[in-house]
Amino acid sequence: MTTSDEQTMPLDPQWTEIREGVRAICEKFPNDYWMKLDQAAEYPTEFVQALTDGGYLGCLIPEEYGGSGLPLSAGCAVLETIHETGCNAAACHAQMYTMGTVLKHGSEEQKRKYLPEIASGKLRLQAFGVTEPTTGSDTTQLKTRAEKKGNKYIVNGQKVWTSRVLHSDLMLLLARTTPLDQVKRRTDGLSVFLVDLREAKGRGVEIKKIDAMINHNTCDTGR
Ligand SMILES: Cc1cc2nc3c(=O)[nH]c(=O)nc-3n(C[C@H](O)[C@H](O)[C@H](O)COP(=O)(O)OP(=O)(O)OC[C@H]3O[C@@H](n4cnc5c(N)ncnc54)[C@H](O)[C@@H]3O)c2cc1C
């Protein structure tokens, strides 16, 4: 136990070159850039593009699929450095890791089709729809249903809190393919879908922005 209020966590000193490269990019995006974006409620397009051009958002993708094939600690170094400099990775961190599901569970054909374009930033896969209005932490209770009809799946349901979906070409979607009362374990019967939002938007997928955390402004109440 410590009597000091100070809580410290040492940063992994590895990946010096990556940290220097990311820092050099971040220095081009000072506080002023973030403040203007925030006031205009806009996406940090130039910042995300600069990280993409530097290859940092594709760093976890294996080399055979167009990334740099680095381990998770390198990805952590990228994100740590971004935040250390006062920039914000929340707009794009998911571009680094959401592809992990495709890498682990996708077919070879899907990996060859999607991963190189995710690595180059041509495709954005940085949205995942898991949470629903009535289902949060207990994911096994989710209500979104996907039923196979011929060679297609018909999906019905509603997701909420789907971050970055307005800035993503693809979205991972978790849905139940076998009803809960027909499975042995409640974690069975769930499937992941890769939804191409470019085709699905307005043709079954409806996106409504949630204005989060802006209805209780902090004010100066002096005269
Ligand atoms: C800004 C933001 C961005 C998000 N982005 C995404 C996204 O991109 N994609 C997505 O799918 N979801 C996203 N979410 C949803 C987020 O992951 C959910 O909020 C989370 O799964 C918790 O669900 P819930 O809010 O319904 O809380 P609940 O599951 O209802 O939990 C409420 C409270 O009960 C506690 N609790 C729950 N279960 C237990 C238990 N068994 N024992 C003890 N305590 C428990 C929880 O810790 C919590 O304090 C986002 C949420 C926010 C706020």
Residue 221 has a pLDDT of 60
Asked if the domains 14-123 and 124-211 are classified in one and the same CATH topology, the answer is no
Ligand 1 touching residue 163 (CB < 6 A): yes
Ligand 1 touching residue 136 (CB < 6 A): yes
Residue 97 CB-density burial (10 A; 0-12 exposed, 13-18 middle, 19+ buried): middle
- Per residue in 57-98, pLDDT tens? 999 999 999 999 999 999 999 999 999 999 999 999 999 999
Q: What is the CATH number of domain 14-123?
A: 1.10.540.10
Once rounded to an integer, what is the mean pLDDT over residues 112-134?
96
Nearest CA to ligand 1 atom 39: 137
Q: 55-79 b/e with 16+ CB inside 10 Å = b?
A: bbbbbbbeeebbbeebeeebbebbb
Q: Is the pTM for the entire model greater than 0.75?
A: yes
- Which fold does the domain 124-211 belong to in CATH? Butyryl-CoA Dehydrogenase, subunit A; domain 2 (2.40.110)
The yes-or-no verdict on residue 200 having pLDDT over 90 is yes
Residue 1 has a pLDDT of 44
User: Is 56 in contact with 97 (CB distance < 8 Å)?
Assistant: no
92, 97, 132, 137: which to mutate for ligand 1, most atoms within 8 A of CB?
Answer: 137
Calculate how far, in angstroms, residue 185's C-alpha sits from the geometric centre of ligand 1.
22
The yes-or-no verdict on residue 13 having pLDDT over 90 is no
Ligand 1 touching residue 165 (CB < 6 A): no
The yes-or-no verdict on residue 14 having pLDDT over 90 is no
- Per residue in 42-56, pLDDT tens? 999 999 999 999 999
Q: 167-193 b/e with 16+ CB inside 10 Å = b?
A: bbbbbbbbbbbeeeeeeeeeeebbebe
Domain map of the chain by residue range? Answer: 14-123, 124-211
